[in-house]
């Protein structure tokens, strides 16, 4: 996820730990269980094929931007700034739905992905990265 940040300069982006800076509805904010950095994992899935495309991180502001703009915004843990998927690559993620999991500690963001989801240029961040594993059976 090395895509460049959204156009707002770093100085204007509030730190992750300030959820009060967001307009996220109180009910949603209260339901989120954030990690120690104030972030929630966001699993991104192609809406029509169910492909898991990538995993990103959101704080309250990134989630509010995602819910209110129709485009997915993440919070970069390494750069400590917001970035909107596709602003520099053109590989836009159009929001189709957003759901909170039963524990409140993960989001499922269903999107219409334009182009590659991974910064390496592959369709998903998991393409070609399978690990050897013993498989189970239900019988």
Quote the distance between the C-alpha of residue 95 and its chain's center.
11
d(CA 97, CA 115): 19
| pLDDT tens digit sequence for 60-96 | 999 999 999 999 999 999 888 999 999 989 999 999 9
Pairing of strands 52-58, 40-46: antiparallel
- In angstroms, the CA 124 to CA 115 distance is 10
pLDDT digits (tens, 9 = 90+) for 87-134: 989 999 999 999 999 999 999 999 999 999 998 999 999 999 999 999
User: What are the residues whose beta carbons fall under 8 Å from the beta carbon of 92, sequence distance 6 or more?
Assistant: 71, 85, 86, 113, 114, 115
Q: What is the pTM of this model?
A: 0.81
């Amino acid at each position: 996820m090395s895509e460049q940040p959204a156009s707002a300069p770093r100085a204007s982006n509030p730190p992750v730990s300030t959820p009060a800076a967001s307009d996220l509805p109180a009910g949603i904010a209260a339901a989120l269980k954030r990690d120690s950095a104030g972030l929630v994992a966001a699993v991104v899935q192609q809406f029509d094929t169910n492909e898991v495309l990538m995993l990103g991180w959101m704080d309250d502001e990134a989630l509010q931007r995602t819910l209110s703009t129709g485009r997915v915004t993440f919070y970069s843990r390494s750069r400590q700034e917001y970035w909107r998927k596709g602003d520099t690559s053109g590989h836009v993620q159009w929001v189709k739905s957003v759901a909170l999991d039963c524990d409140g500690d993960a989001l499922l963001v269903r999107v219409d992905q334009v182009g590659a989801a991974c910064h390496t240029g592959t369709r998903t961040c998991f393409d070609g990265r399978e690990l050897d594993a013993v498989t189970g059976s239900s019988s």
